[in-house]
Amino acid sequence: MEKFSWLPDASPKHHFNPPQENLSKAEQEMGAFDKPLSQVKQLEFPFSDDPEDYFTLQLTHKELLIHPLSGEIISEYDYPLTKIISYYSFILHTGQGNIFWAIILIFTCFGLLFFMYSGFAITLKRKNTAIKNLYKKEDCPYLILVGSESGSTLAFADLLHQSLLKQGKKSFLTTMNAYTPYPKMKHLVVMTSTYGQGDAPSNANKFENIFRKPSADG
């Protein structure tokens, strides 16, 4: 949303305070620069030797303008919540500054690539194992029903189907949900497998009710 300018403008708006004089030596040497390095995002040095050209110190939650000679904080701007959330969102998405989180993100990327590849491979496998029949179902004494989610069981069923055809026997291959009895059917072969946590394949989940339903032929 920040990239599309949907969030309110969070550009720093500094209000200057008059520089103080006669600062202590400790304030001049340390002062505003005494910050943990983990909080420092960026430090911009003065462009010139002009005393009114200040240091700009960007921390995780605020931005400081610092006098180049005295070390005094001239202006302090607290970032709004949207800018802070945007900063931590960037850290979470890039792993910047944390080697362990960066390694986790790398493994996540490889995991996404694996799932993309496996999904594409399953799609191709299903297309390569499309059901092909040479005869009409009503003319085939052999009926092979298959239930398969990924296509692996369908490949085995097709091997049986092709073997029967090579022997000169009329065989018809279809999914379990497409089952309908017919007079010439003498041999019924059912080949299926579960997937996930023992769930029925999507092309076989209605077979039990279909098989129990009385046929029109009585």
pLDDT tens for 110-149 read: 999 998 988 887 777 666 567 889 999 999 999 999 998 8
Residue 169 inside a domain? The answer is: yes
Residue 19 inside a domain? The answer is: no
Residue 50 inside a domain? The answer is: yes
For 157-179, the pLDDT digits (tens) are 999 999 999 999 999 999 999 99
Contact by Cβ (8 Å): 63, 57: yes
Q: Which residues contact 112 (CB under 8 A, 6 or more apart)?
A: none
Give the range of the structural domain holding residue 192, as residue numbers without chain letter: 137-212
3-class DSSP assignment, residue 204: coil
CATH number, domain containing residue 143: 3.40.50.360
Tell me how far apart the alpha carbons of residues 68 and 85 are, in angstroms, rounded to a whole number. Answer: 31
Question: CB burial class (10 A; 0-12, 13-18, 19+) of residue 77?
Answer: middle
3-class DSSP assignment, residue 9: coil
Overall pTM > 0.85: no
3-class DSSP assignment, residue 55: strand
